[in-house]
Amino acid sequence: MNQIRNVKGTRDLLEDSSALWNVVEQHVRATFNLYGFGEIRTPILEDTSLFVRGVGESSDIVGKEMYTFPDRKGRSLCLRPESTAAVARAYVQHRLQDQPQPVRLYYIGPQFRYERPQKGRYRQFQQIGAEVIGDAGPESDAELLVMLLRFLEGMDFEGLVVRLNTVGDIESRNRFGAALRDYLEPHRASLSEDSQRRLDTNPLRILDTKAPAERALLEGAPELSEFLTSDCREHFAGVRRLLDRFGVRYEIEPDLVRGLDYYTRTVFEIAATGLGAQDSILGGGRYDGLIEQLGGAETPGIGFAIGQDRLIDVLPQSFKDRHQRQRPVVVVPIGLEQGADIALDIAEQLRTAGIHSVAELSGKSMKAGMRLASKLEAIGVVLIGEDELAAGTVTYKNFASREQSSVDRKDLAQIITTSINRSTD
């Protein structure tokens, strides 16, 4: 019978990988809680119209990448491709506008997009994100960026820089879009199929092209900054003033537009040194019209998302070294009639003291126990035979120091804890 394998573009996270993911998620919760964010968990399954209306039909997500299907009653459903629209839907549905504003929410969860799988990019991928809904001021933009820098610095990323732009409000974008369309229309035949489609649906998305010929063509195009309203200019100046106040390093990137249609005003990415050409770690922006598009009152918002799969791939080694999974102590009974029971007793005694412990239960031999300890990369072994059992002692072998000593069972946990602390100093 053929072996069943995981679906293409998905993967299993085994024990060692999951341990590191958990550490990162603990860091997310600790950092975001400091800034007053609470966790939200939205369904993986959503109504397709949520993303058509929220993300935009001109986006690649809606146009190419969503897993969409009819249910048994013919309703169009999809697997969640991103979470900002889902959080906005929950904000409207549960009347979170009645709570003190702004509402600060973060999420950690799987998303689904049909695209070509490659390193760090999967069809089921994990995303970390946060949303600040209900405040229109530049203060929320700056505070979110300061939090994200603290988050990344806490994982030892270096040379962090914020890439910053404003895409204006609807009025600014409409005027700029018309001018950009007029500029590019005579060159339509030289544009890629995707850019030709964007020329008709959302010309701003063409600014995100990576094609060298199109990048060269855009050098002579009108600039968005020429079409900003006075309110948009004032907001962007406020964001920059606050970032200066907090000593944040940033660069203005006039072509930064991000890939989703709901963005307004501030958009950003954060990059780090040492990551090569693809040095951007996360991105986001303001979406002051999204709540209204989904049936709510006019409500401003700003948020970000980071692909956790890629974040794990580019984590600095120093952070990984500090958060290695705890290695166990292995308890090995030797020639005892009820060796497994006694080994479990000792292992449980150590676990009560917070020591990761594994009992060798086969009772075959000391050699079998040492072989298990080697496979588990144990920090030491606890040996107990007839003599030790009668005397109320055990033999503890510390692999780091290569010391072996007879220890009273009541003192064992303290001695192991002391040796662990000494090795980590």
pLDDT in tens, 66-77: 889 999 999 999
* pLDDT at 171 (0 to 100): 85
pLDDT for the residue 416: 86
> With 0-12 CB in 10 A as exposed, 13-18 as middle and 19+ as buried, what is 402?
exposed
Together in a domain, 245 and 335: no
pLDDT the model gives residue 12: 84
pTM for the full predicted model: 0.83
- Please report whether residue 203 resides in a domain: no
Cα–Cα dist 149/155, whole Å? 10
Report the CATH number that the domain containing residue 72 is assigned in CATH.
3.30.930.10
Contact 103, 326 (CB under 8 A): no
For residue 412, the SS3 value is: helix
Our CA angle for 309, 311, 316, nearest 5°, is 135
Instruction: Say if CB 187 and CB 239 are below 8 A apart.
Output: no
The two tokens of residue 172 are 């600014």
- Of 304, 321, 338, the position where a domain reaches its end is 321
Is 179 part of a structural domain of the chain? no
Does 118 map to a domain? yes
pLDDT of residue 118: 73
In a domain, 77, yes or no: yes
Is residue 177 within 8 Å of 202, Cβ to Cβ?
yes
The whole-number pLDDT of residue 235 equals 95
Say if residue 258 is in the same domain as residue 133: yes
| 315 and 332 housed in the same domain | no
In this structure, the answer to whether residues 164 and 26 fall within a common structural domain is yes
CB atoms within 10 A of CB 249: 10
Residue numbers in the chain where pLDDT is lower than 50: none
Count structural domains, the chain. Answer: 2
Both 108 and 241 in one domain: the answer is yes
What is the reported pLDDT for 59?
66
Q: How far apart are CA 282 and CA 308, in angstroms?
A: 10
φ and ψ of 142, to 5 deg: -65, -45
- Distance, CA of 45 to CA of 62 (rounded, Å): 15
- What does 117-159 look like in DSSP terms, one character per residue? -BTTB-SEEEEEEEEEES--SHHHHHHHHHHHHHHHHTTT--S
Query: β-strands 250-252, 161-166: how paired?
Result: parallel
Q: Are residues 161 and 52 in the same domain?
A: yes
Is 91 strand, coil or helix? Answer: helix
- Residue 257 maps to a domain: yes
Residue 234 lies in a domain: yes
Same domain flag for 257 and 376: no
Q: Are residues 248 and 387 in the same domain?
A: no
**What's the pLDDT score for residue 95?**
95
Residue with tokens 């060796």: 339
Same domain, 335 and 358: yes
Per-residue pLDDT, 256: 82
To the nearest 10 degrees (0 to 180), the angle between helices 138-153 and 230-245 is 40
Contact in structure between 357 and 378 (CB atoms under 8 Å) = no
CB neighbour list of residue 277: distance below 8 Å, 6 or more residues apart: none
Query: Does residue 70 sit in the same domain as residue 45?
Result: yes
Beta strand pairing call for 280-286 and 264-271: antiparallel
Q: Which helix (H) or strand (E) holds 108?
A: strand 103-112
Q: With respect to residue 164, please indicate whether it lies within any of the assigned structural domains.
A: yes
**Domain end point (choices 267, 300, 321):** 321
Cβ(130)–Cβ(106) under 8 Å?
yes
Whether residues 350 and 241 fall in one domain: no
Give the residue from 261, 292, 321 where a domain finishes: 321
Q: How far is CA 147 from CA 30, 132, 256, 315, in A?
A: 11, 12, 21, 18
Phi-psi region of 168 (alpha: psi -120 to 50; beta: other; left: phi over 0): left
Instruction: Report yes or no on 103 lying in a domain.
Output: yes
* 391 conformational bin, left if phi > 0, alpha if psi -120 to 50, beta if neither: alpha
Domain that holds residue 63: 15-169+229-321
pLDDT at 225: 82
Q: Are residues 51 and 73 in the same domain?
A: yes
CA angle centred on 252, ends 250 and 256, rounded to 5°: 115
Nearest Cα to Cα of residue 165 among 145, 148, 143, 181: 145
Domain CATH number, residue 366: 3.40.50.800
